[in-house]
Amino acid sequence: MDIAIKDGKIVKKVNESNAKIIDASGLTVMAGGVDIHSHIAGSEVNLGRMIRPDDHVKDVVKKTALTRSGTGYSIPSTYVTGYRYSKMGYTTVMNPSMAAMKAKHAHEELNDIPLIDKASFTLLGDWWFALENIAKGDLEECARLIAWMIRGTRSYAIKIVNPGGLESWGFGRNVHSLDDEVPNFCLTPRDIITGMAKVNTMLNMPHTIHLHTNNLGVPGNYKTTIDTMRALESVYQGDKPIGHITHIQFSSFAGDSWAHFKSGAEEIANYLNAHNHMTVDIGQVTFADTTTMTADGPFEFALYELGGHNKWVNSDVETEASGGIIPFHFKKKNAVNAIQWSIGLELSLMIKDPWKWFMTTDHPNGGPFFHYPRVFAWLYSRKAREATLKKCNKKAQKKSLLPTLDREYTLYELAIVTRAGTAKALGLKNKGHLGVGAEADVSIYNINPETTDIAQTYKPVRKAFGNAAYTIKDGEIVVKDAEIVATPPGRTMWLDVQTKEPCRIDEEMKRKFKEYWTIEFDNYPVTDHYIKVPEKITIKASV
Amino acid sequence: MITITPKRVFTVPVQAACISADVFAGKPLEEIKKLSITEGKETITLDDAFNITEDKTIETPNITLTGDFSKVKRIGQGMKTGEIIINGDAGMHTGEKLAGGKIIVNGNSGGWTGSEMKKGLIEIHGNSGDYTASPYRGTSTGMKGGVITIDGNVGTDVGCYLQGGIIRIKGSAGRYLGYHMLDGTIFVEKDCAIRAGACMTGGKIIINGTIELLMPTFTIDSIKPKVKIDATQNAQGPFYVFLGDIAERGTGKIFALKATNPAFKDYEKYL
């Protein structure tokens, strides 16, 4: 079968006499990878870089004639992020956590990440204006405000982190269930989640709400996660999923304390197998000395207390969000860490439909993104899983369900959880597949699917996934034999959500900006010149 | 024995981690000359910057450096066995991550000397810079073992995150001595500047001179007549013994000589 490419798109056929031909016979060809959740840019990422000189010194990247110098390890510098993604055959990455106030910073960093298309999700679950309107029951006005915010921050989706918890954190508190009250708002996390899901539908957003659950990282939290998914059942209209729970591994803990910590993967997987209104990504732990970063400030505080008072960053982003950063070393010999690793894989193997879950490490929280090939190996090879499990904490080995799981992913299923499924969940119609009309983002790996038993010879296959034979971005060869050969800038996708009438921007709103924000209303939105290569996607809202 | 002397006065830092007995071992002179180092941003060979000669009749020390090496960084980095003598000043990161063997500096040594070392001996017959025996910025794995002796004074932040081993300083120490240390021993024969032992959770700091100011997060424990430095040697007191850093729930000990610290007399009423 031949794949013809012309002007950056996949077409039916081209004139072969003057076309450049790549002979990919005996190799594996996939659409370019689409990552649904990876913290690659923004204020929290950069703060993480600042507190970790010890992380960079381990991984210094020299410049070449074509590429720039930089550093890794867990939080690579901007250019290195682009190069490493491209070497793995990834061409699109979603930056899932952008505080609206820090959107300009995030876009400036995204501009400097070459070779991949990207988009950001704005943190909106604890934004005062949204909370006020949900509390009032005026979801239409809430939707119009969110459309204004999505446009104003040049973002792609609604991100909700520990709904209600971030607002509570401003008062040194947190919420611990879906029905705890958020201080000063007469609201519960349940109201925020269902309200936002309805708003998301009203706005005809291509992606669902992108949700980081309450109680993340707390033993026994799988119950909250199931409650969250149940709460969304009422909003489901029966066609496409209406919610995406991100890094669900961190929300699938059972047991009542760290001493009795165990996996809640079975319950979560059973629920997902029986329902169609949710998608999830995993946030797989890869056993790395990494840097955790999230907008969930109270969770990072708990981690600080738990992890022996390591250096950390904690912040309350005015009226919108919060944040925290702590270096964390996931170790095989640590029972909790090893069980977390097992939970991620149990979920991956027990959720039957690969279109419902996607592969991520929640870079850099579970492990840096360039560890993806390791995760692939654990998915497609039982032998690889066993080899790692053998090195894990004995207590964790006993508790793990992995020895009972025989499933081994095929290359097709792997393609779904890394590109086709993610592109579908994100509503990216022209990505994640190789059909006519798709963007010509192609990755070719040095794996012969006909002669290789990938489950048995997992090591060379894992290596091939980390070192693409070719990566093609918009029809241009950017990686050849794992070397960067061209460095086009990627596009930044953003949504221009057009509502039937604009949101009310009255004197009251401007007064609030003056009183509660450190940025003036007029300086707040991201303007066009902040984005080097924009790709505006216009959508019509139903309000 | 390999003898190395600089061919010129260096104006920019030279990174020469390859000057190490492990790296030189078993290599003919011609191969040693071709080892690559960097001078500023340029990559050059050892031969471009240094005169190198070999004397096969002498076995120890393995390497002798003669001249001004104060701009030459990372001498003996990660060395496991062998001996290096530097007749002159040594640059930053000398003996970094040392895992065995011996480095003797007959002159001053730069910052981060003996950083993150695990085993072995570093003798400095001069002063040593800031961050001696301290890890790289941001890293919390300090020196784990071995001995560093310094005849002169040391700069600030010496022995940070110390996890084991002994640092003996015959002169005075700067601020933040033993910051965040977990274990091991620091012995200072002269004075010590402010904030010694800040954030320490274990180990001991012995000061034979005057402590400029003790952190308020240390509490007096007892007065002891003497304290053990290593298996063979004691420091003669009496010493005030302080416990801390309480802010970190630490159980580290600072021993301050009673005779040279009259300012601590007030603490005696709490005993």
- For all residues of chain B together, what is the average pLDDT? 95
Contacts of A309 in chain B (CB under 8 A): 248
Q: Closest Cα of chain A to B137: distance in Å?
A: 6
Q: Report if residue B33 sits inside a domain.
A: no
* Chosen from B139, B160, B201, B249 to mutate, greatest number of chain A CBs within 10 A: B139
Contact B140 A53 (CB under 8 A): no
Where in chain A are the domains?
19-495
Is the model's pTM score more than 0.80?
A: yes
Long-range CB contacts for residues B205-209, cutoff 8 Å, separation at least 24? B205/B177, B205/B178, B205/B181, B205/B252, B205/B253, B205/B254, B205/B255, B206/B235, B206/B239, B206/B255, B207/B254, B207/B255, B207/B256, B207/B257, B207/B261, B208/B235, B208/B257, B208/B260, B209/B172, B209/B257, B209/B260
Tell me which amino acid residue B116 is. Answer: E
**Which residue in B has a C-alpha nearest to residue A312's C-alpha?**
B138
Q: Closest Cα of chain B to A50: distance in Å?
A: 10
* Confidence grade of residue A1 (pLDDT, cut at 50, 70, 90): confident
| Other Cβ atoms within 10 Å of A437 Cβ, number | 11
Q: Report if residue B42 sits inside a domain.
A: no
Is pLDDT of A508 > 90? Answer: no
A377-428 confidence digits (pLDDT tens): 999 999 999 999 999 999 999 999 999 999 999 999 999 999 999 999 999 9
Within an 8 Å CB–CB cutoff, is residue B249 touching chain A?
Answer: no
* Chosen from A49, A50, A52, A54 to mutate, greatest number of chain B CBs within 10 A: A54
Is pLDDT of A235 > 80? Answer: yes
What residue numbers bound the domain in which B206 lies? 2-23+55-270
**Which residue in A has a C-alpha nearest to residue B248's C-alpha?**
A309
| Total domain count, chain B | 1
Q: What percent of chain A has pLDDT over 70?
A: 100
Q: Report if residue B143 sits inside a domain.
A: yes
Within an 8 Å CB–CB cutoff, is residue B136 touching chain A?
Answer: yes
Residue pairs between chains A and B whose CB atoms are closer than 8 Å: 19
Contact A311 B138 (CB under 8 A): yes
Tokens of A204: 């005809």
* Chosen from B38, B115, B140 to mutate, greatest number of chain A CBs within 10 A: B140
* Better-scored residue on pLDDT, A472 or A303: A472
Q: Report if residue B40 sits inside a domain.
A: no
Q: Report if residue B43 sits inside a domain.
A: no
Chain-centroid distance, C-alpha B264:
29
Within an 8 Å CB–CB cutoff, is residue B248 touching chain A?
Answer: yes
Contact B139 A54 (CB under 8 A): yes
Q: Closest Cα of chain A to B248: distance in Å?
A: 9
Within an 8 Å CB–CB cutoff, is residue B269 touching chain A?
Answer: no
B187-230 confidence digits (pLDDT tens): 999 999 999 999 999 999 999 999 999 999 999 999 999 999 99
Asked if A78 and A107 count as a contact pair (C-beta separation under 8 A), the reply is no
Q: Return the SS3 of B33.
A: helix
How far the first Cα of chain A sits from its last, in Å, is 46
Provide mean pLDDT across the span A299-317.
Answer: 82
- For all residues of chain A together, what is the average pLDDT? 93
Contacts of A53 in chain B (CB under 8 A): 136-139
Q: Report if residue B235 sits inside a domain.
A: yes
* Confidence grade of residue A503 (pLDDT, cut at 50, 70, 90): confident
B59-72 confidence digits (pLDDT tens): 888 999 999 999 99
Q: Is the ipTM of this complex over 0.85?
A: no
Residues of A with CB under 8 A from a CB of B: 51-55, 57, 309-311
A328-387 confidence digits (pLDDT tens): 999 999 999 999 999 999 999 999 999 999 999 999 999 999 999 999 999 999 999 999
B21-55 confidence digits (pLDDT tens): 999 999 999 999 999 999 999 999 999 999 999 99
